[in-house]
Amino acid sequence: MKTTPKITFRRLGMEDVHQVRRQLDEAGLVVVEKVLPQPDLLEVKRRLNYLTTHADFYSKHGLRFIPEPTVQGREDLEPFARYAKLEVLLWKDELLWRKIITHPNLVRLTQAVLGPDYCINAGAIFMKPAHHGSPVPWHQDSAAWGLQAGAYETGETPLLFDYWLALERATLENGCLQFIPGSHKLGVVSHTAKKDGELVRTIKPDDFGYDAASIVPVEANAGDLLIWHQDMFHASGPNRSAHSRAAVAGTFISRKDLARMREQRPKDTGLGIPICVEGRPVSLKDPVPATAEP
Residue 196: pLDDT band with limits 50, 70, 90: low
Nearest in space to 219 (alpha carbons), one of 31, 36, 60, 53: 31
What gap in Å lies between CA 125 and CA 270, rounded to an integer?
Answer: 15
pLDDT at 199: 62
Sequence-distant (6+) residues with CB within 8 A of 292 are 50, 54, 57, 58
Domain with residue 187: its CATH number is: 2.60.120.620
Judged against a pLDDT cut of 60, whether residue 4 lies above it is answered with: no
Q: Identify whether 23 is part of a domain.
A: yes
Count of the separate structural domains present in the chain: 1
For residues 83-91, average pLDDT: 93
Q: Identify whether 2 is part of a domain.
A: no
Judged against a pLDDT cut of 60, whether residue 197 lies above it is answered with: no
Residues 115-168 pLDDT 10s:
999 999 889 999 988 888 778 889 998 888 777 787 777 667 777 899 999 999
Pick the more confident residue, 2 or 129. 129
Q: Identify whether 135 is part of a domain.
A: yes
Judged against a pLDDT cut of 70, whether residue 3 lies above it is answered with: no
Q: Which domain holds residue 266?
A: 10-70+77-281
- Distances in Å between the Cα of 47 and the Cα atoms of 13, 93, 167, 212, 242 are 27, 9, 12, 39, 23
Q: pTM (2 decimals)?
A: 0.91
Alpha helices in 28-63 (DSSP H): 38-53, 55-59
Pick the more confident residue, 155 or 12. 12
What gap in Å lies between CA 80 and CA 237, rounded to an integer?
Answer: 20
User: Sign of the C-alpha dihedral, residues 31, 146, 285, 78?
Assistant: negative
Q: Identify whether 229 is part of a domain.
A: yes
Q: Identify whether 46 is part of a domain.
A: yes
Q: Mean pLDDT score of the chain, rounded to an integer?
A: 88
Q: Alpha-carbon Rg of the chain, whole angstroms? A: 18
Residue 2: pLDDT band with limits 50, 70, 90: very low
pLDDT at 1: 39
Judged against a pLDDT cut of 90, whether residue 198 lies above it is answered with: no
DSSP category for residue 197: T
Residues 228-287 pLDDT 10s:
999 999 999 999 998 889 999 999 999 988 887 777 777 776 678 899 999 999 999 889
Give me the torsion for CA of 28, 19, 170, 40, rounded to 10°: -130
pLDDT at 149: 81
Dihedrals phi, psi of 90, to nearest 5 degrees: -65, -30
Q: Identify whether 140 is part of a domain.
A: yes
Q: Identify whether 274 is part of a domain.
A: yes
Sequence-distant (6+) residues with CB within 8 A of 29 are 9, 23, 179, 181, 216, 218, 226, 227, 228, 229, 232
Q: Identify whether 154 is part of a domain.
A: yes
Helix, strand or coil, per DSSP, at residue 56: helix
